Chain A
């Protein structure tokens, strides 16, 4: 087998980890609150800027900066829910999608206002592992591992704690859950915070690999929605599988042709599959 193709496949798997983590957060919010946060990728961008500021400008230790980034984005998630989603929770779902679209405009241009359009990075270069002729970047491997840890932690949180159970219950039937003594508003806030925290974690992992700029969210945001819809909005396992399918398409096609064409193919694949399996790949 072609050694470079193998490298592309491995990189695809590693990329899939972070995408899966983000898809998990978006899916959680969709499943529980029934809202698509169009600006989800831009929350990640904000997290990357926070980490950049704290680490590269103020000289905080990296781990502390990352932790602060996660907390910051989690708080943003709560604010997004309180300020934007809660007032229009009763209106058409598409309005909520569009309101967070307004947030996308706001965050991108506000970041431009604060930082300009320059590409910035943390200035950390992690070593590259050599396995025979294959080169794997440690940053990607770390991101993949952390994304898996995050996903497993979320799984146990949802399965083993009372709040987690309540979150799963609300995703199944939001009307009955109130009768069972669950405070819906509180669950929505907790869910938004978790969704934000996952975006924050992704921000930590991505800022080790990529430069941050105000429009960085546009590079993987649309991809993220495709993954969630492909897996079935609200279906977390489906989203996890879809993340790896999409990332494999992108790396393998990208290996044979070029990056843009691989994205085109991923989107076309998505559109085609929507007609075959409109409720997600794992739904029968």
Chain B
């Protein structure tokens, strides 16, 4: 009961945040929530050993499809976003099914998905007549409009991001408590043994991959609507894929709030160094970030939240930590 009260209190504080925070901090919070949602989506499959370096591809498709449809055909994001998410899901099946069917796992899976994210990014660059290539792409702005899902005021997007983030957490929890979670745990331990006890390995893997890819595409679409500027380097490709993977790992991909903590940490590090040192110190944030990552993977492979939980409950050093 106390836990629900605490959650409700947190939610109330989060909901009222944009009322008393200056716009800059609301902007940061929106980013933390949106990226937190995307990182959570990644860790849905990452926690079962399906390390995908291709989420930049899903995010890119999710971001570009609605924006292109809006600019060229006037199709509203309300239709464009589901279409983008659907295309991402199809992409996930097209790449996922053969991968799982032919037992492409571990390094190989990571590298195949890495190729996928490069394919999407380079395709966007190659189609520069339509997408603007490396110069980026700006959706047509129409001011405040529910119809076009564009809001110059930060409050609206804050609420959207908050809802999205909560949806991400609910999906995480739903999978965590489902029978699929047990199946996927078994698969990540030993695929042959899992298949031998009657788990449909391909189906289980494919399902979690499609869910993860769709949510990532949704996150990318909302991110595009909020920032109103798309660049192949910032919404797709190897850089974004690695950013997603690392933030999720630093935060801790085996816990529900880990990816969000990763998002909060990386963003505040980035902003703190940017504000503290200015632009003549470019690269400082990522230099520290890189070292942090290496240290994290060596000393805290379960991430910050995972390490904290381990300290609190030293006996629960099992493979997957409890959900809370």
Residues A94 and B51 in contact, CB atoms below 8 Å apart = yes
Residues B294 and A103 in contact, CB atoms below 8 Å apart = yes
Interface membership of A113, Cβ < 8 A: yes
Interface membership of B242, Cβ < 8 A: yes
Tally the A-B contacts, defined by beta carbons under 8 Å: 144
Residue with the highest number of chain B CB atoms closer than 10 Å, among A105, A113, A267, A275 = A105
Task: With A274-B104, A278-B102 as known contacts, state yes or no: A106 contacts B294, CB within 8 Å.
Answer: yes
Residues A260 and B125 in contact, CB atoms below 8 Å apart = yes
In which size bucket is the chain A interface? 35 or more
Residues A102 and B246 in contact, CB atoms below 8 Å apart = yes
Interface membership of A87, Cβ < 8 A: yes
A113 interface neighbour in B103, B111, B287, B292, Cβ under 8 Å: B287
B246 interface neighbour in A98, A264, A267, Cβ under 8 Å: A98
Residues A226 and B291 in contact, CB atoms below 8 Å apart = no
Task: Give chain B interface residues in 274-297, CB to chain A under 8 Å.
Answer: 281-287, 289-294, 296-297
Interface membership of A258, Cβ < 8 A: yes
Interface membership of A218, Cβ < 8 A: yes
Residues B126 and A94 in contact, CB atoms below 8 Å apart = no
Chain A residues touching B, majority SS = helix
Interface membership of B298, Cβ < 8 A: yes
Task: Give chain A interface residues in 39-77, CB to chain B under 8 Å.
Answer: none
Residues B301 and A95 in contact, CB atoms below 8 Å apart = yes
Complex Cα–Cα for A88 and B293 (A): 13
Chain B residues with Cβ below 8 Å from A258 are: 126
Interface string of A175-194 (1 = CB under 8 A from B): 00000000000000000000
Interface membership of B95, Cβ < 8 A: yes
Interface string of A76-103 (1 = CB under 8 A from B): 0000000010011001111101110111
Complex Cα–Cα for A92 and B282 (A): 33
Q: Which of A's residues lie within 8 Å of B, judged by CB?
A: 36, 84, 87-88, 91-95, 97-99, 101-113, 116-117, 214, 218, 221-222, 225-226, 229, 233, 258, 260-261, 263-264, 267-268, 270-271, 274-275, 278
